[in-house]
A and B are shown apart, each in its own frame.
Chain A
Amino acid sequence: MTDASSDPASVPSPGQPAPALSIRGLAKRFGGKIAVDGISLDVPAGSFYGMVGPNGAGKTTTLSMATGLLRPDFGTALVHGTDVWSEPLEAKKLMGVLPDGVRLFDRLTGEQLVSYAGLLRGMDRGTVRSRVPELLAALDLGADAGTLVVDYSAGMTKKIALASALIHAPRLLVLDEPFESVDPVSATNIRGILDSYVASGGTVIVSSHVMDLVQRMCSHVAVVAAGRVLAAGPVDEVRNGSTLEDRFVDLVGGGRRTEGLEWLRTF
């Protein structure tokens, strides 16, 4: 994995497989604020790729631009060699997306929502029918399959959104904060599903705040802050001997020594 900031040089040479996701110089400005300031990354096929960064670093914006949800001001995104912005329908077939902070069609039942996601992607009824119960059972949602999603808890909602992203067996999974408010048991199950998915050749990109989780789970990591990539590569290379959390605080800065607040110890 190379930090591909030099543009034309990093075009994959023939014979080598194209990266699962290759983004070049993505940039986005909201009003006066630059959210993403020219991010370039290559996510190798078959990798479990973590994207970490402080709040407001531009993770969600970057992933939205890479998945066709938000049009970038500059830059390109290729999924297995297909340009997301010039051939959106082709590129979106290859991807399963779990966006963060969007609503679901929550007046459908859990199984209806996942079936809907499958049918929208043009899958036939038989396949959808056989996959949905299996998927819901794997995510511990079997007992609530007939409940309206609006009555789900936050963690269950996250899981049903993940199921909607998995139903069409995509080659690339882009998951924005997939473990937020998910209970530890379900999180372990989800990790199991994702691990075996990667082992069989799929590619996963997750964004997260939890460094420990990323260090244990991911093969590669990119540290993003203020709309730029600070470091990217295999996890062991990036953390360079220390823990990912310490390395992250080093890179991003802003870790304060805990002083002051003496009155908190006086009771």
Chain B
Amino acid sequence: MVAHLLSLKWRLLLNGFKRSPGQLIGMAIGGLYAAGTVLTLLVGLVALRWADAEIAQTVVVLGGALAMLGWLVVPFLVSAADMTLDPARFTTSAIPAPQLLAGLALAGFIGLPGLSTALVSLATVASWWRSVPAVAGALLGAALGALSCVVLSKVVTTATASLASSRRYKDVSSLVIFVPLVLMGPVVAGVAQGLAGSSDYLPGLAKVISWTPLGAAWSLGGDLEAGDAGAAGLKFLVAVATLAGLFLCWHLLLQRALVTPPYAGGTSRKGGRLGLFALLPATPTGAVAARSLSYWFRDPRYAGSLVVVPLLPVIFLFSSAQSGSYVMLSVLAPMTAFLLAWSISADTSYDNTAFALHLAAGVRGIHDRLGRALACLAISLPVVLLFVIGPFFITGDWAWLPNIMGLSLGMLFTGLGLSSVVSARYTVAVPLPGDSPFKKPPGNVAQTLAVQFGGMGVLLLLVAPELGLTIAQALTGNPVPGWINLVVGPVLGLVLFAVGVRLGGKWLDARGPELFAQLTVNR
């Protein structure tokens, strides 16, 4: 039975490759990335062989504990966790529990994260290639540690399975994960600085952790090398007890989960709240704008951008503080304008086949385009104005305000116009409605890249006048180009906005059914 489960997982992995060349390429890129990381870690661990024993022990124990924490936390954040061998699917097969658990645990090693963890764990044996007891201890520790990692993640996914199937939890967790991802740079730099300042504190930390379930398994090699057989024996017991405890938890959770399938329903709510539909004008354009605005707040795929926006100044401030110059801060507003305006270039792709409603209702293209663009504008205009003016309170270089204002507004209006054209004609691969914003979307990756990069190139051409005026002021130091930009940016931007909405509307009227046919391919 264990062999069956392993071969099933292997088969699922292989068939995943077969589905499309695009998927194969994606997997290959992910594989290369993982291989690079794993190789670096392997080399590092082998090099530890010649390091001082205390340093090696500190690195291995802390690294192992971090890996365990990673396996604990990641399933919480990535609701698109690997559920190919979801235990619930074996409910009807009547497999004895011990065999099911053993099979699923071992199958956890088939796949990139499991395989990487197993390889890196085994490399700790090389670090302790110093004496026979040390090698034996490290080997035992690696096996216990790697297995504990996998079982730990199974415990977490089983415990949260019914929670994770609720839509609200998925929505929130897929938004929250943006925060650590976006702030990764500053956080890593901060932690590195902190560690560099207190490096003599780490060996003590490692000693304490090596007595906990997180680090016990990883410390066996080092303790045996140091000749401390008593401590090693006790830690071995801690590690075994950890693994046994995890298996027991998993078993109990699984028993409960198998007889109580997840319930995804919500509470029903009475009507009477039309929200934005009651506020905006009762016209097709107004309705489209109200719908789009509702989506900006309710759909994680849109709301993700709204979570990122307030984090952008943090990143720019941080990098400015590190470099000591605040020049980067003036890029904040045009950059944000660009990101927000470009975000609706995939608007119809985000609709997916729900676009059928617009098509069947005979919405005129220009109403569709204008409604979407105005919804985006309602959110992005206040943000961009705030980001234009805000940084000058820090830099005090007010002579640049007109220029940055003109550039940002030009970028925003031009971007919205161009997006209106692009999303009327081209579809790109985006996560499906209801999926996590991080889930790899189905569809043609090549076309997505071509549309995205081609569109951005065209946008840069269209805002060339504004960019030129900004560069002129930077080179000459003369504020006159800035004042010209304050006029040129909004005027040229608004003209291009109007042209874009009209052209997009015209294309939509002419090719609505063809666009819909493209959308039905990626459903």
Residues of A participating in the B interface, judged by any CB pair closer than 8 Å = 67-71, 88-89, 91-93, 95, 97, 99, 101-112, 115-117, 119-125, 128-129, 132-133, 136, 142-148, 150-151, 164-165
Q: B487 CB to closest chain A CB, in angstroms?
A: 37
Are A102 and B353 in contact, CB atoms less than 8 angstroms apart? yes
3 cross-chain pairs, A with B, having the tightest CB-CB distances, nearest first: A145-B271, A92-B362, A146-B269
A119 to B367, CA, bound (A): 12
Tier of interface size on chain B: 35 or more
A121 to B357, CA, bound (A): 10
Q: A136-B271, A147-B266, A147-B268 are in contact. Are A121 and B517 (CB under 8 A)?
A: no
Residues of B participating in the A interface, judged by any CB pair closer than 8 Å = 167, 265-275, 277-278, 282-284, 286-288, 290-291, 294-295, 298-299, 351-354, 356-364, 433-434, 513-514, 516-517, 520, 523
Q: A109 CB to closest chain B CB, in angstroms?
A: 7
- B residues within 8 A CB of A101? 353
A124 to B266, CA, bound (A): 32
Q: A119-B284, A119-B286, A151-B167 are in contact. Are A68 and B271 (CB under 8 A)?
A: no
- A residues within 8 A CB of B358? 120
B271's nearest neighbour on chain A, judged by CB, is A145
Q: B57 CB to closest chain A CB, in angstroms?
A: 51
B351's nearest neighbour on chain A, judged by CB, is A105
Q: A211 CB to closest chain B CB, in angstroms?
A: 27
B268's nearest neighbour on chain A, judged by CB, is A144
Partner of B274 from A99, A105, A112, A124 at Cβ < 8 Å: A112
A65's nearest neighbour on chain B, judged by CB, is B513
A97 to B357, CA, bound (A): 9
Q: A121 CB to closest chain B CB, in angstroms?
A: 5
Subset of 18 A-B contacts with CB under 8 Å: A68-B360, A68-B362, A92-B361, A102-B356, A106-B354, A109-B273, A109-B275, A112-B277, A115-B287, A119-B284, A120-B284, A125-B278, A143-B268, A145-B269, A146-B270, A147-B269, A150-B167, A151-B265
Partner of A107 from B284, B294, B353 at Cβ < 8 Å: B294
Are B364 and A106 in contact, CB atoms less than 8 angstroms apart? no
A116 to B514, CA, bound (A): 23
Partner of B433 from A103, A125, A146, A165 at Cβ < 8 Å: A103
Q: Specify the main secondary structure of chain B where it touches its partner.
A: helix
Q: A112-B277, A119-B277, A150-B167 are in contact. Are A69 and B269 (CB under 8 A)?
A: no
Are B291 and A105 in contact, CB atoms less than 8 angstroms apart? yes
- B residues within 8 A CB of A102? 353-354, 356, 520
Q: A132 CB to closest chain B CB, in angstroms?
A: 8
Are B266 and A68 in contact, CB atoms less than 8 angstroms apart? no
- A residues within 8 A CB of B517? 70-71
Partner of B514 from A67, A71, A124, A136 at Cβ < 8 Å: A71
- B residues within 8 A CB of A109? 269, 271, 273, 275
Are A115 and B298 in contact, CB atoms less than 8 angstroms apart? no
Q: A266 CB to closest chain B CB, in angstroms?
A: 22
Are B294 and A108 in contact, CB atoms less than 8 angstroms apart? yes
A97 to B362, CA, bound (A): 11
Q: A223 CB to closest chain B CB, in angstroms?
A: 26
Are A107 and B352 in contact, CB atoms less than 8 angstroms apart? no
Are A110 and B362 in contact, CB atoms less than 8 angstroms apart? no
A121 to B358, CA, bound (A): 9
Q: A112 CB to closest chain B CB, in angstroms?
A: 6
Partner of B352 from A93, A103, A142 at Cβ < 8 Å: A103
- B residues within 8 A CB of A116? 277, 287, 290-291, 357
- A residues within 8 A CB of B270? 142-143, 145-146
Are A68 and B284 in contact, CB atoms less than 8 angstroms apart? no
Q: Which of A69, A70, A89 has the most CB of B within 10 A?
A: A69
Are A144 and B287 in contact, CB atoms less than 8 angstroms apart? no
Q: B518 CB to closest chain A CB, in angstroms?
A: 12
Q: A104-B357, A110-B271 are in contact. Are A119 and B283 (CB under 8 A)?
A: yes
B352's nearest neighbour on chain A, judged by CB, is A103
A124's nearest neighbour on chain B, judged by CB, is B282
Q: A146 CB to closest chain B CB, in angstroms?
A: 4
Are B356 and A121 in contact, CB atoms less than 8 angstroms apart? no
A76 to B391, CA, bound (A): 61
A70 to B519, CA, bound (A): 12
- B residues within 8 A CB of A104? 354, 357
